[in-house]
Amino acid sequence: MKILVCLKQVPEPESHLQWLEDGGVAPVPGARFQMGSLDAQALEWALTLAQDHQGISVEAVCAGPARAAAVLERARGMGAAQACHILTPEGAGPPALTLATWLAAWAGPRAYDLILTGGMSQDAMRGQVGPLLAGLLGLNWATLAVDMRLTDQGRLHLEREVEAGRRQALELDLPALVTVQSSPREPRYPSLSGLLKAKASPPQVVEATGLPPRAPQVAALGARRPQRRRAGRALNGTLAQQAQELCAILRQRGLL
Amino acid sequence: MSAQAPANLVVMAHAVQGALAPSAAELLGLARRLAGQGPAAIKAVLVGQGLEAAAREMAGLGLAEVILLEGPGLAAYSGPAWVQALTPVLEALAPAWVLVPHDSQGQDYAPVLSLSLDAACLGPVEGLEDMDGGPAFLCPGQGGKALYVQRPLTAGAVISVLPGAFPASEAKGPAAPLTRLTIATQTPGLRHLGETEGHGQSRELVQAQRVLAVGRGLGKRENLAQAQELAACLDACLAGSRPLCDLGWLGYDQQVGQTGATVTPRLYLACGISGARQHTLGMRGSGFIVAINHDPQAPIHDLADLSVVADLPSFLREMLEACRAKT
Ligand SMILES: Cc1cc2nc3c(=O)[nH]c(=O)nc-3n(C[C@H](O)[C@H](O)[C@H](O)COP(=O)(O)OP(=O)(O)OC[C@H]3O[C@@H](n4cnc5c(N)ncnc54)[C@H](O)[C@@H]3O)c2cc1C
B284 CA to middle of ligand 1, Å?
A: 15
Q: Which residue of A has its CA nearest to B146?
A: A225
Instruction: Supply the mean pLDDT for chain B.
Output: 93
Q: Give the pLDDT mean for B138-142.
A: 96
Beta carbons of B23 and B165 less than 8 angstroms apart: no
Q: What angle do CA B86, A164, B69 make, to 5 degrees?
A: 20
Q: Output b/e per residue, A67-78; b: 16+ Cβ within 10 A.
A: ebbbbbbbbbbb
Within a domain: A171: yes
Q: CA–CA separation, A161 vs A182, rounded Å?
A: 10
Nearest CA distance, A210 vs chain B (angstrom) = 23
pLDDT at B315 over 50: yes
Nearest CA distance, A226 vs chain B (angstrom) = 6
One pLDDT digit (tens) per residue for chain A, 256 residues: 999 999 999 999 888 899 998 889 999 999 999 999 999 999 999 999 999 999 999 999 999 999 999 999 999 999 999 999 999 998 878 999 999 999 999 999 999 999 999 999 999 999 999 999 999 999 999 999 999 999 999 999 999 999 888 899 999 999 999 999 999 999 999 999 999 999 999 999 999 999 988 889 999 999 999 988 898 899 999 999 999 999 999 999 999 8
B269 CA to middle of ligand 1, Å?
A: 14
Which pLDDT tens digit goes with each residue over A29-78? 999 999 999 999 999 999 999 999 999 999 999 999 999 999 999 999 99
pLDDT at position A232 is 83
pLDDT band at B2 (very low <50, low <70, confident <90, very high): very low
Beta carbons of A58 and A47 less than 8 angstroms apart: yes
Nearest CA distance, A96 vs chain B (angstrom) = 9
Chain A neighbors of B123, CB-CB under 8 A: 126, 128
Beta carbon pairs, A and B, within 8 Å: 274
Ligand 1 pocket test, candidate residues B202, B278, B316, B317, most atoms within 8 A of CB? B278
Question: Residues 6 or more apart from B225 whose CB is under 8 A from it?
Answer: none
For β-strands B19-20 and B15-16, DSSP reports them as antiparallel
pLDDT at position B264 is 96
Within a domain: A220: no
Closest CB to A165 among B259, B295, B308: B259
Nearest CA distance, B174 vs chain A (angstrom) = 32
pLDDT at position B207 is 94
Within a domain: A226: no
pLDDT at B1 over 80: no
Q: Give the pLDDT mean for B144-168.
A: 95
Q: Cβ B112–A13 below 8 Å, yes or no? A: no
Coil, strand or helix: which one is A86?
strand
Q: Cβ A251–B123 below 8 Å, yes or no? A: no
Return the closest-CA partner of residue B299 out of A17, A63, A135. A17
Mutate to test the interface with B, among A155, A167, A225, A250 (most CBs of B within 10 A): A250
Percent of chain B residues topping a pLDDT of 70: 97
Within a domain: A38: yes
pLDDT at position B37 is 58
Coil, strand or helix: which one is B97?
strand
pLDDT at B227 over 80: yes
Within a domain: A40: yes
The verdict on A140 touching B (C-beta cutoff 8 Å) is yes
Closest CB to A163 among B103, B111, B304: B103
Structural domain count of chain A: 1
- The dihedrals phi and psi of A245, each to the nearest 5 degrees, come to -65, -40
Question: Residues 6 or more apart from A164 whose CB is under 8 A from it?
Answer: B198, B200, B201, B259, B260, B261, B262
Return the closest-CA partner of residue B304 out of A248, A241, A225, A228. A228
pLDDT at B311 over 50: yes
Closest CB to B123 among A126, A217, A253: A126
Q: CA–CA separation, A147 vs B76, rounded Å?
A: 19
Mutate to test the interface with A, among B82, B97, B104 (most CBs of A within 10 A): B104
Q: Which atom of ligand 1 is nearest to the CA of B255?
A: 9
Q: Cβ B306–A144 below 8 Å, yes or no? A: no
Q: Which atom of ligand 1 is nearest to the CA of B215?
A: 26
Q: Which atom of ligand 1 is nearest to the CA of B214?
A: 26
Ligand 1 pocket test, candidate residues B253, B279, B281, B312, most atoms within 8 A of CB? B279
Closest CB to B115 among A127, A136, A181: A136
pLDDT at position B198 is 84
User: Is omega for the bond preceding B95 within 30 degrees of 0, making it cis?
Assistant: yes
B218 CA to middle of ligand 1, Å?
A: 11
Within a domain: A156: yes
Q: CA–CA separation, A32 vs B143, rounded Å?
A: 15
Instruction: Supply the mean pLDDT for chain A.
Output: 95
Return the closest-CA partner of residue A161 out of A186, A178, A174. A178
Determine the distance from the C-alpha atom of residue A147 to the mean position of all C-alpha atoms in its chain, rounded to a whole number: 17
Q: Cβ A232–B302 below 8 Å, yes or no? A: yes
Closest CB to B112 among A96, A127, A131: A131
Q: Print the domain residue range for A139.
A: 2-210
pLDDT at position B161 is 98
pLDDT at position B145 is 93
The closest residue, in CA terms, to atom 45 on ligand 1 is B217
Nearest CA distance, B89 vs chain A (angstrom) = 19
Q: CA–CA separation, A228 vs A223, rounded Å?
A: 16
Q: CA–CA separation, A7 vs A37, rounded Å?
A: 9
Which pLDDT tens digit goes with each residue over B265-310? 999 999 999 999 999 999 999 999 999 999 998 999 999 999 999 9
A27 CA to middle of ligand 1, Å?
A: 19
pLDDT at position A164 is 82
pLDDT at position B281 is 92
Q: Give the pLDDT mean for B216-245.
A: 96
Beta carbons of B191 and A176 less than 8 angstroms apart: no
User: Within 6 Å (CB) of ligand 1, which residues are found?
Assistant: A 13-14, 119-120, 144, 181; B 143, 215-217, 219, 241-243, 255-260, 272-274, 276, 278-279, 282, 293-295, 298, 311-312
Q: CA–CA separation, A247 vs B11, rounded Å?
A: 46
Return the closest-CA partner of residue B138 out of A34, A225, A94. A225
Beta carbons of B210 and B265 less than 8 angstroms apart: yes
In angstroms, what CA-CA distances link B71 with A8, A242, B12, B74, B209? 38, 60, 17, 5, 44
Return the closest-CA partner of residue B300 out of B325, B324, B278, B327. B278
DSSP per residue over A164-197, as a string? GG-EEEEEEPSSEEEEE---SPPPPPPPHHHHHH
Beta carbons of A116 and A46 less than 8 angstroms apart: yes
pTM: 0.96
| H-helix or E-strand spanning residue A137 | helix A129-137
Which pLDDT tens digit goes with each residue over B93-133? 888 899 999 999 999 999 999 999 999 999 999 999 988 87
pLDDT band at B327 (very low <50, low <70, confident <90, very high): low
Chain B neighbors of A156, CB-CB under 8 A: none
Ligand 1 pocket test, candidate residues A8, A12, A14, most atoms within 8 A of CB? A14
Q: Cβ B267–A255 below 8 Å, yes or no? A: yes
Within a domain: A79: yes
Within a domain: A251: no
CATH code where residue A206 lies:
3.40.50.620
Q: Give the pLDDT mean for B140-163.
A: 95
